[in-house]
Structure 1
Amino acid sequence: MSNGSTMDMRTAIFLAAVCGQTYMQYDNNGLFLLPETYRLVGSFSAASYAGSEEPFGFVLESDRAAILAFRGTSSPTDWVTDMIAQQTVFKPLGRTLMTHRGFTDLYMAARSTIFRLLDSVPASKPLFVTGHSLGGALATLASADIAANRKTESLITYTFGAPRVGDPAFVRSYNALVPISFRIQNEFDVVPHLPPLVYTSPKTDKTYYYMHVKEEVKRSFRNGSVGGNHVISSYFADLARDASAFTAAICSGPPGWCPLK
């Protein structure tokens, strides 16, 4: 996988497939498929909005790289309507940076396990952090935290259909800390437009400001529904058209490895 300063299409396709496996992990009681040459370092869980402990992703390692992947939610609308969009202090970066409380609580619940898993991966290996939807928000928080608080020689972040995560101060800090970061979003996907730039809590009337982190990679596809414009299989199919031979090669493995429609 490339870790250059411009988005690498093959890396994006490969990581979209990895994101697909985070849903497989959730749907199959923790079981999912590993990409060729990769081994599982370990999985991590967190309490969901429903209150129950669920698998939320995993750390993989090959001889050349490591991957930290986060799962989103199966329904693109459930967490959008129920989310706690008030902001809270993002403690790993200090007292002046504010992030979405719902995303932050979820990330902090899994943080110690994630860091323990990363402890077994050599810092000299490139670490790719990825996630789709809510998983993209968690990947954004993790990337800022890892960049600030861990020794990682090379950190590369790719998210898909991710919502906004924090206030302008958080975004400035993220953009300075995380050297290589690509936020891939479909212009017809509703999730990247949430929370709104200006959010007023209906309970407290307090106003919060949200911005997106760097580097937007705009895609454009319509699949006839809110879900169809958002799910990881739609992102994968859209990106795959730009590198069909590579996609065919990585999808030639076990059935279900690629998130095909």
Structure 2
Amino acid sequence: MSSSPMYFPPGFDSEKAIFLNQLVITAYDMYSQWLYQGMQAKNRFGWAPKGPKLAYSEPIWGEDTRFLGIFGRAEPFAFVASTEDNDVYLIFRGTESHSDWSENIKLEQTPYSLAPGYGSVHQGFFSIYETMRDTIHKYLEEIPNPKRLYIAGHSLGSSLSTLAVPDVITNTSYKASLPVIHYNLASPRTGDPDFADAYNANEVETYRVVNTCDVVPTVPLSVTSSKLPLPIYKHVGVPVDFTAQYGEIVENHSVKGAYLYALQHPKQPEENKR
């Protein structure tokens, strides 16, 4: 099969996008290790990072607080890592558990209360992010002499990374002292137009990598009607589009099979895949 080449806008670093994609895969593997170890409590889970050679924090845990009584436990969602020359990475994985799905399907919005002027955001995504933000701040502030911060995620993790950006640049030392750059993969819409407009004005370099054949970036809806009065959402950042049809909903959304493959084969992101 053949497909159109990926579009790389000015400023987009494809090698850095591949590296960040590999770190997101490392976050997914962290969750897989947790499952293999029987979903241990925080103080009993032994994570052995299998990604790029970096200095890794302990796992950052998130909870579905509104449905905790049903689904029952915190999950490892994210980590902070750094290089020897003090590049810093804040990385989020996407949906894995029933609890994660329960948050995805909520369409209600809630005010973004972590920074002024940012409108409203997806209530489910925000409720998860709130449970991990104190730990995110702690691990970020523990990095000595940071040079720049990269934030990245996939799917639900992209929405969590989007929610992290205004929080980090408002409530930590990072925005004042160094660049913050955000790459996300397969992101759903995260907030309302007021949130998106405020985000796009905050000068954080943001690239949204999206397969046009992936359904996840098409939700929640960006339109409404009098017959279906739902809250409306708007994407953030500069889109980095590719079109690759791998024949299945899951494959078109896959962090490895779609997004990493396309970044590694930008001239033919669909070649040899069907």
TM-score band by shorter chain is 0.7 to 0.9
Q: 2:107 aligns with which of 68, 77, 85?
A: 85
Q: Which residue number in structure 2 is paired with residue 56 of structure 1?
A: 77
Tell me how far apart the structure 2 counterparts of residues 150 and 232 of structure 1 sit (CA, whole Å).
Answer: 29
Instruction: After superposition, give the CA deviation of every residue in 1:40-95 in whole Å (9 maximum; x if it has no partner).
Output: 1232101146342100010001123010000101389x828952110001111237
Any runs of at least 4 consecutive aligned residues in structure 1 with deviations exceeding 4 A, and if so which? none
- Name 2:24's counterpart in structure 1: 19
Question: What does 1:1-261 correspond to in 2, within 5 Å?
Answer: 6-29=11-34, 30-36=47-53, 38-48=54-64, 50-64=71-85, 65-74=87-96, 79=101, 83-94=105-116, 97-122=119-144, 124-152=146-174, 153-198=178-223, 207-233=230-256, 234-242=258-266
Shift of 1:150: 2.1
Q: Is the 8 A contact 1:132 1:159 kept in 2?
A: yes
| CA gap 1:81/1:88 in 2 versus in 1, 3 angstroms | closer
- Secondary structure at the aligned position of 1:184 is classed as strand
Q: In structure 1, what is the Cα distance between the partners aligned to 2:143 and 2:224?
A: 39
Measured against aligned partners, the alpha-carbon deviations of 1:155-190 in whole angstroms (never above 9, x if no partner) come to 010000010000111111111124211000000000
Q: CA 1:100/1:217 → structure 2, altered by over 3 Å: closer, same or farther?
A: same
SS at match of 1:32: coil
Q: Contact 1:89/1:95 (CA < 8 Å) preserved in 2?
A: no
Distance 1:199 1:231 in 2: 29
Q: Assess, with a 3 A threshold, how the Cα gap between structure 1 residues 123 and 129 changes in structure 2: closer, same or farther.
A: farther
TM-score of the two chains, using structure 1 as the length reference: 0.83
In the alignment, is the contact (CA less than 8 A) between 1:45 and 1:57 conserved in 2?
yes
Structure with max Cα Rg: 2
What is the TM-score of this pair, normalised by structure 2?
0.79
- The gaps in structure 2 that reach 5 residues or longer are 1-8, 35-46, 268-274
Question: How big is each residue's C-alpha offset from its partner over 1:195-226, in whole Å with a ceiling of 9 and x where there is no partner?
Answer: 011368x9xx7631200001111011111100
Contact 1:73–1:79 (CA under 8 A) maintained in structure 2:
yes
| 1:43–1:31 CA distance, 2 compared to 1 (3 A) | same
Equivalent position SS for 1:45? strand
Q: Amino acid of the residue matched to residue 207 of structure 2?
A: F
Percent sequence identity over aligned pairs:
31
SS of the residue corresponding to residue 177 of structure 1 reads: coil
Give SS of 2:249's match.
coil
Residues 80/242 of structure 1: CA separation in 2 closer, same or farther (3 Å cut): farther
Give the conservation status (yes or no) of the 8 Å contact 1:144–1:178. Answer: no
Residue of structure 2 in register with 1:256 after alignment: none
Instruction: Provide the C-alpha distance between the structure 2 equivalents of 1:80 and 1:161, rounded to a whole number of angstroms.
Output: 19
Question: What letter corresponds to residue 48 of structure 2 in structure 1?
Answer: L
**2:81–2:90 CA contact under 8 A, matched in 1:** yes
Relative distance call for 1:18 and 1:99 in structure 2 (3 A) is same
